[in-house]
Structures are given as C-alpha cells and as structure tokens.
Amino acid sequence: MIHDFVYDIPVRVYFGRDQLQHLGAELKKYGTRVLMTYGGGSIKRMGLYDRVVKEIRDAGLELFELPGIEPNPRIDSVRRGAQMCKDHHIDVLLAVGGGSTIDATKFIAAGACVDHDPWDFLDPAKRGTVSVDKALPIIDILTLAATGSEMDSGGVISNPETQDKYGALYPLLLPKVSFLDPTNTFTVSPYQTACGAADMMSHILEVYFNMDQDMYMLDCFMEGLMKTIIRYAPIAMREPENYEARANLMWTSSWAINGFVNGGKRLAWSCHPMEHELSAIYDITHGLGLAILTPRWMQYCLDETNVSKYVQLGTNVFGINPGQEPMAIARQTIDAMSQFLFGTLGLKRTLPEVGIDETHFAVMARKSVGGDVLQGFKPLRQHDVEQIYRMCME
C-alpha cells in the first residue's frame, strides 16, 4: 500500500552560472557574522574562494574561516567548527564544497547551539535522548555532484578514534539556500566524477529496490534519473567542461536523495550501511565503495519474489529485451549495472584492488546490521553481509 507521507523541502536553489550575485543578500537575511567552511585548496585554485570572499566583503559581512574539512569528514572538524561558532558568535554558516564539507557544516550548525559533544547527534547509543532543536542557518555552494547534501537534512560523520561512521537526519539541518553552478564542477576529475555518479546511482537504487507498492510516477522519475546518470557521467568524464552534462548530473544529485522519490514507501537502506563500515576503517571514497558493493548486493538479494523489480530496472533503464524469462533479464540487468560501474565509469571492481582484505569482515558486518538485522530490500543478517563482502573479493 501507499503509506501517508509529508513532502517539505523548503530549500531555495540558485541554479546556473551567474547566481553568486545573490549570495550577499541571502547571507544577510540571517546576520552579519559568517563562518565559511571548506576542504582543501581546490576552491582557491579554481578561483571560487576569491569570488566568494569578494561577495561577502561587498555585502559588508564579517568573515571567519574553517578550512581543512576532510573527505569522509571527521567529528574533530565538527567540534572545532562548533567551538568557532561559539567563540565568534557566528550568525550563519557558508559551506563551500562537496558533500563532506556540507555534511560537516550541518553538525557544526547543530553543535554550535548546544553544550554537549556534537558526536551525540550521530552516536546511535545517544540518539534516543538527543535531538537537534536549534541550529544555525546554513547556505552552501556545491562543488561536487554526488551526495545530495545540498538539498537534504542528513549528514555522515566519521570518528576515527572509534572507527565509527554514522549518518543522521534532522529537519533543522536542511540548508536554507544552495548555489548549484555546474561550472564549479568543471575541475572535478574523471575519477571523482565516476565516484559521484556511483553514489547517486546507489541513492536511487536504495529507494527503487523496494517491494512496497508505491507510486508509479516516482518509479518513472527514478528511472529518468538513472538514465540521466548513465547518459551524462561518461560525457562529463571525457569532456569535463560540458555544461549540459555537468548540469544534468548536478541537478540529478539533488533529486536522487532529497526525499521526493521516497513517496510513501517504508524505507531502509542496504548498501550505504554496508559501505559506511568500509570507509570508516579504510577511508576509501564513499562512491567507490558503493560501486563495488552494489552489483554483488543485487545478485545476493535476487529471488523469485523480487525478480520483477530487476526486470523493471533492466527493461526501462538499460533497454534490455523484455521478451525473455524474468531471471534471465535480471541477470542481464546486474551485468549491465556492473558494466556501467566498472566498464563505463572505470571504477575498481574488487575490494583487494582498493587495499581491503578479509581481516575486518566479521566486525564490519556486525556493525552494519546494528547488531541484528539490516532491514532493506531484503533483510540481511551478519552472515549475509559477510557473504556480500566476500563476493567483492574477486
């Protein structure tokens, strides 16, 4: 059945090449003291840093900076940012970067308003008692099409001390305004473009692979998003300054995970929890970990009760001939997905190729199922997840 749901995404998106002129006015709505967060030096090399600083100065705002947010952002950066907000009485946060920078900024925004450790917002042991009741407003300038953090209320943070990596969603962490300029992704390498495409693809599959009957219109939309990724990711890899390709990928990254596609489905994700354990310990790129896991997970879950979903994906997205046995179509669908991820996108196919061996499989599998069962397209227990990890060995 189609369950009731609430749709509520009040993010204003400025999309296009010539939108930063609105940055100063948008920031000013929330105050005068701005903390700008970013990662490494890429935004300086591409000239974006200078442009942003100029807009902020021209608007008469006071600028503070927190550089050095890591890929797979760490709780220490969050703690440092939250402390800066308190020390400097920050009014509004400006995240300039990809999903890692925006994710970290979300928990900085929440951490700035409380006395306790921001890790409490993420730690499953604390989440029953801790909530985000207040947060500083967030504006972001996106530089990587991948995680969709620019239009959702969630984030994922790593804690290297405990080798934990957790995600959490809080409505107050939704950005107020996102600036999506496809030209800001022109310098993204082919490899990172591929990882971003794999991440978006996984976001859609986590929702699409669901036997809960829901709305056909949303399945059509998800199929369109997947066709968009398949069409434009290779173009963006070959021609990094192809605006049409970058624009399609960027807007797709937002809509893959902003919640619209969920509709009234009861959701539980599978590949993301399994991948978070990989990147928590080995610090690999999230999209790459997802790419390795996805076809194996598809293969492990396939059975007579869910084969129709594989057939739908194969015929509607990959153009597989529908005049065959369902199981044959399903196998061709998994092959087509592998071919896209490892052939077209050129991502590594196995865990050993990215330096991961069986050492931690048992503990990672146990953590990924939360000690019991990973509810998702098909319920997975620890031994199931271990088996999927093992399928990624070759």
Q: For binding to a second copy (CB under 8 A), which residues are involved?
A: 1-10, 12-19, 213, 215-217, 220-221, 223-225, 227-228, 231-232, 243-244, 247-248, 251-252, 255, 263-264
The residue with tokens 């971003």 is: 196
On the 0-12 / 13-18 / 19+ scale of CB atoms within 10 A, 299 is middle
**Calpha distance 356→349 (Å, rounded):** 12
Query: Rounded to the nearest whole angstrom, what is the least distance from the CB of residue 145 to a second copy in the complex?
Result: 12
| CB nearer a second copy, residue 243 or residue 342 | 243
Smallest gap from Cβ 142 to a second copy, in A, equals: 13
The label of the residue with tokens 């006071």 reads: 62
Query: Residue 251 is encoded by which pair of tokens?
Result: 């807007």
Q: What's the closest the beta carbon of residue 214 comes to a second copy, in angstroms?
A: 9
Nearer to a second copy, 18 or 115 (CB): 18
DSSP 117-146: -GGGGT-TTTTTT--------EEEEE--SS
Nearer residue to a second copy within complex by CB, 76 or 223 = 223
Q: For helices 382-391 and 361-368, what crossing angle results, to 10°?
A: 130
CB of 223 to a second copy, least distance (A): 7
> Shortest Cβ distance from residue 180 to a second copy (Å)?
9
The CA distance from 391 to 95, in Å, is: 38
Distances (CA, A) of 352 to 246, 287, 292, 348: 31, 16, 11, 9
Nearer to a second copy, 185 or 228 (CB): 228
Query: Comparing C-alpha atoms, which of 3, 58, 35, 162 is closest to residue 106?
Result: 35
Q: Which of 98, 82, 80, 88 is nearest to 34 (CA)?
A: 88
Q: Choose between 157 and 218: whose C-beta lies nearer to a second copy.
A: 218
Nearest CB to a second copy, comparing residues 220 and 363: 220
Based on CB atoms, which residue is closest to a second copy, 102 or 274? 102
Which of 247, 220, 251, 221 is closest to 235 using CA atoms? 247
CB of 119 to a second copy, least distance (A): 31
Residues 157, 108 contacting (CB under 8 angstroms): no
Dihedral sign, Cα of residue 374, residue 377, residue 383, residue 386? negative
Is the Cβ of residue 91 or residue 219 nearer to a second copy in the bound state?
219
Shortest CB 342 distance to a second copy, Å: 24
Q: Among 52, 62, 59, 156, which residue's Cα sits nearest to residue 102?
A: 156
What's the min distance (Å) between Cβ of 174 and a second copy? 11
